[in-house]
Structure 1
Amino acid sequence: MTPTLTPQTTPQTTAHPTARRQSAALAAPALLAAFLGLAVIFVAGHAQSGALHGAAHDVRHSTGFPCH
Structure 2
Amino acid sequence: MNSVTQTLGADVSSASKFMQLAMAGLLGVFVVGFLGFSHMEVVHNAGHDYRHSLAFPCH
TM-score (norm 1): 0.39
The structure with the largest helix share of the pair is: 1
Query: Which structure: larger Rg?
Result: 1
TM-score (norm 2): 0.44
